Structure 1
Amino acid sequence: MIDRYPLGIQTIAKLFGLEGKRLEEHYVRHLSDFMSWQAREHAPDWLLFPENVGPYLSIDETSLSQGELYTVVTNKQANGRKGALVAIVKGVRSDQIIQILKKIPRRKRYMVEEVTLDLAATMERIVIRSFPRAKLVSDRFHVQQLATDAVQQLRIEHRWQAIDQENLEIELAKELHKEYVPDLLENGDTPKQLLARSRYLLFKDETAWTPAQRQRAEILFRIYPDLEKAYRMSRNLSHIFSSTKEKELGYTRLAQWYDQVEKAGIKAFSSLRRTIQNHYITILNYFDNRSTNASAESFNAKIKALRSQFRGVKNVDFFMYRLMKIYA
């Protein structure tokens, strides 16, 4: 019965009015086959389920405890339920992960048609070596996140400048034995406050701004026109992914957007421009099936939820056993 619940043993014990510690110990030693589980010896390092391989996979990394990273491969067609987990391997070193994934029979690995992944070069190498016939699709949300990060980086740069300017004015007022009175903008913000309070509106499309955010944005963009230019470029990139249906059109629109970024000369966008240049083909592959790595992110959330039910992962092999029972 316990194996049907994606919960920690302590939580299940509470649901049924039982003592958690005793139920967990009884489950480990008697109710389950954990003690005779064949994969128990290597479970903390890797688990592999070749029977769950499908034509559409996702690969991502997640943390189990204390920042310890694991690489997770999932089958999209399982929709995060039983049969979703294909592999979970300790670490993110490509050679080690490839070695484990190559334990999957060649016939199974060659049937994989598409793998979604983030923009990490190590992940690309893992997929190319492990699933040779698969098409790589870079996750659009990772690309968009880089654009958003570039906008926020520019905002933070302006904020530090505003803080420095305010400190100079305070020091000058002290030297002149005068009271420091900050300059207030028409919405009541100081320049420093304006930049701090604009953080969230820069994450959103302008159609979702509240009246107060709209007023703040108008002031912000008037004072910092480069920030408006960066924001517009970030939103334009998002609109390309959300509104483009055909790959050829996506190619054209991304090329035009790339030229705009190059001409804008905003330093914060230089890393994004190089990233798109280096991953252009795999980013464009998104427009074939509009595939994203959302399923991998969702599965990572399930792992974190299970981890929280365990109140942390103290016994890694038992945690892996529960993960196997629920999702493999």
Structure 2
Amino acid sequence: MASFYGVKGKNLLYQYKDFLSDFKIWNQKAHAKQWLIFPENIGKRLSIDETSLSNGELYTVLTNKAANGRKGTIVAMVAGTKAETVIAIIEKIPLKQRNLVNEITLDMAGNMGLIAKKCFPKAIQVTDRFHVQKLATEALQEIRIKHRWKAIDQENEAMEQAKSSKTKYEPKILTNGDTLKQLLARSRYFLYKNKSKWSQNQKERADLLFNLYPDIHKAYNLTQDLRNIFENTTDKIIAFTRLAKWHEKVNQSGFKSFNTISRTITNHYQNILNYFDNRSTNASAESFNAKIKAFRSQFRGVRNIEFFLFRLTNIYA
């Protein structure tokens, strides 16, 4: 816009910030770095999550699902993730308005659960299913990475032995053209997906991987079983039964990391099962985080936090 009118971009930004916009008379400017609240945006279904504005500084963001990521989305933004600080700010919204909230989606972080419980006592808490699935996927990738490091060590030893015996080192090439190390590295991406979405090359690579490493195959099946419970179950009671059977499979597998996930699910089972009432997720909060990152990159970072938040809330609050 600046180049179209033949002026310098910095001059236009300066004029907009100090004269053309309402930034100087913004009623939340004095405390914008610490907190922002918009009580008028509160709705029956909310999401709470954390996001980073710049330099790793975290903000707790409360959003209204009904706004669909448009104007009216932001209910509150508070610097930091400390429960006591966030609660004190959100409680500035009258209790009568907060009691209108029926449901709030969140991750499994203890501080988020405490904020939701204290600020919205009548709301049902729903643990985001994607955070639960992410734990299982990370456990699967942990097993793959462990084998990859072992393969790298074995290759290094073989190369050192070849060097000491003055012979040429020839790595073993698998039928798809990968070495063992490459197979384990290149398997990362298809392990995130359901086998129905694999390409032909990925199917071939999966067959090799699962034949060589049965434990990765077993862990992949556990991950997909958990995903299928969330995707193909609509009844809360049936979901409870299927999760119990999944816990049993995990116990039999002997995987320490999956046992940790199983215990985590057990500790949050009520909030996880609440997902099956309305199939609510925290996807709207994750989507809004992506919007903030895109907005930040569009302006090449955050130089003035108050002005950045002013522009952000003009669009989304």
Q: TM-score range by the shorter chain?
A: over 0.9
**CA, structure 1 residues 311+109, in 2 after alignment: closer, same or farther (shift >3 Å)?**
same
Q: Could you tell me which residue of structure 2 aligns to residue 144 of structure 1?
A: 133
> What TM-score does the superposition give when structure 1 sets the normalisation length?
0.94
SS in structure 1 opposite 2:61?
A: strand
Number of the residue aligned with 1:121: 110
State the match for 2:49 in structure 1.
Answer: 60
Residue of structure 1 equivalent to 2:262 = 273
- Residue 190 of structure 1 is aligned with which of 175, 179, 191? 179
- 1:318 corresponding residue in structure 2: 307
Deviation at residue 18 of structure 1 after TM alignment? 4.9
* Cα distance change, pair 16–219 in 1 and its aligned pair in 2 (3 A): farther
Residue of structure 2 in register with 1:91 after alignment: 80
1:301 is aligned to: 290
Superposition TM-score, scaled by structure 2 size: 0.97
Distance in 2, matches of 1:205 and 1:238, equals 9
Q: Partner amino acid for 2:100?
A: M
Aligned equivalent of 2:121:
132
* Pairing 1:157–2:149 present: no
Matched, 1:50 2:39: yes
- Structure 1 residues 8-49: Cα deviation after superposition (integer angstroms, max 9, x where no partner): xxxx54576653222221122222221111211100111001
Question: Residue 170 of structure 1: CA displacement?
Answer: 1.4
**Equivalents in 1 of 2:272, 2:131: separation in Å?**
10
**2 CA distance for matches of 1:29 and 1:179?**
70
Tell me how far apart the structure 1 counterparts of residues 82 and 15 of structure 2 sit (CA, whole Å). Answer: 37
Q: How much does 1:70 deviate?
A: 0.4
Post-superposition offset of 1:267: 2.1
Q: Measure the CA separation in 2 of the matches of 1:101 and 1:212.
A: 51
Compared CA separation, residues 107 and 17, structure 1 to 2 (3 A): farther
CA-to-partner distance for each residue in 1:106-141, whole Å, 9 max, x for gaps?
101111110001111111011001111111101111
Q: Look up the SS of the partner of 1:38 in the other structure.
A: coil
- Corresponding position of 2:228: 239
Does residue 174 of the first structure (1) align with residue 140 of the second (2)?
no
Q: Tell me what 1:9 maps to.
A: none
Per-residue CA distance 1:189-223 (angstroms, 9 max, x = gap) = 22111111111111111111111111111111111
| Structure 2 CA distance for partners of 1:187 and 1:81, relative to 1, 3 Å | same
Alpha-carbon distance in 2 for matches of 1:296, 1:325? 18
Q: Secondary structure at the match of 1:30?
A: helix
Asked if 2 retains the 8 angstrom alpha-carbon contact of 1:114 and 1:135, the reply is yes
In the alignment, structure 1 segments of 5+ residues that lack a partner are 1-11
SS at structure 2 position matched to 1:314: coil
2:21 maps to what in 1? 32
Q: CA-to-partner distance for each residue in 1:67-101, whole Å, 9 max, x for gaps?
A: 11000000000111111100000001111000100
Identity %: 56
Q: Does 1:82 align with 2:65?
A: no
Structure 1 equivalent of residue 191 of structure 2: 202
Where structure 2 has 5 or more consecutive residues not aligned to the other structure, the ranges are none
Distance change >3 Å, CA 16–CA 82, structure 1 → 2: farther
Query: Are 1:154 and 1:268, in contact at CA under 8 Å, matched by a contact in 2?
Result: no
